[in-house]
Amino acid sequence: MKAVVSRLACSKSSLASFPKISSSMSWRHLSTESNKVDEPFKVEEAETVNMPPPPTEKLLVLGGNGFVGSHVCKEALNRGLVVASLSRSGRSSLHDAWANDVTWHQGNLLAPETLKDALTGVTSVISCVGGFGSNSQMYKINGTANINAIRAASEQGVKRFVYISAADFGVVNYLIQGYYEGKRAAETELLTKFPYGGVILRPGFIYGTRRVGSMKIPLGVIGSPMEMIFQRTKPLNQLPLVGPLFTPPVNVTAVAKVAVRAATDPVFPPGIVDVHGILRHSQQKLK
């Protein structure tokens, strides 16, 4: 990028061409030291210098073609970031216009060597990879896959890493043990490898419009009223065992907004952000 830089230098000759100043003011008045006769200013010719381009933030969204991931990609593009995504199916079935602005990589976090290319030049990562299945499958996809990604990103010098984890659901945790054990193992790895730039978001139920094939399912119809009710019943959240069931649902756009901010704002505090923190951060004005 070229920038024009003007230089100011001192010389007696040029201010003579400003009749008002030279005739009505003593040079002494322009000086801060009374016994010093100041040299008047001269504006030299503008000089063109080569400046390095502004640093570019490049974000890699893991699982960018999923429900949360696609909203994260959209939010990041709106904020002017360079966005890439990696998932097993690559671009998949998304035909929205914004999807043309994402670089889609195909890869599998369970085969970390497939991540290498996608991580080139990346400054921050948001992982939206997770899922359900048998206990061992859930541990693999929520835990092992993300641990692999965190290690690879740390080795490549990525500055910030955001992991979309999940809120505790008390008794429910025992029913999907592999899911929570995987989530918590990935969180531990993130806090170890990214002590200053690692952020864990722990939403409860996430609502918004989810795409299934060519169909759009408006989960907000249930989620939005629930969010309002549960925000007003916050103290119930503290009850033993059943308390976590009162965790308010959160809109997918709020999760995406906070994730992108956590991935790019160097002063966003590292550590765990629970659902109330997500709601609070999402209401803050973006810089």
Ligand X SMILES: NC(=O)c1ccc[n+]([C@@H]2O[C@H](COP(=O)([O-])OP(=O)(O)OC[C@H]3O[C@@H](n4cnc5c(N)ncnc54)[C@H](OP(=O)(O)O)[C@@H]3O)[C@@H](O)[C@H]2O)c1
The residues that touch ligand X, with contacts defined as CB under 6 A, are 63, 65-69, 87-89, 92, 108-110, 128-131, 141, 145, 164, 166, 203, 205-206
Residue nearer to ligand X on the CB measure, 147 or 166:
166
Residue nearer to ligand X on the CB measure, 15 or 62:
62
Minimum separation from the CB atom of position 241 to ligand X (A): 20
Minimum separation from the CB atom of position 203 to ligand X (A): 5
Which stretches of the chain are DSSP H helices? 12-15, 19-24, 67-78, 135-138, 145-155, 172-175, 177-193, 220-232, 252-264, 275-283
Distance, in Å, from the CA atom of 182 to the CA atom of 140, rounded to the nearest integer, reads: 7
Residue nearer to ligand X on the CB measure, 81 or 145:
145
Determine contact, residues 244/170, Cβ cutoff 8 Å.
yes
Distance, in Å, from the CA atom of 101 to the CA atom of 84, rounded to the nearest integer, reads: 9
Residue nearer to ligand X on the CB measure, 21 or 191:
191
Minimum separation from the CB atom of position 118 to ligand X (A): 10
* β-pair partners for 271: 199
At 159, list the tokens: 């500055």
Task: Give the 3-state secondary structure of residue 188.
Answer: helix
Minimum separation from the CB atom of position 235 to ligand X (A): 22
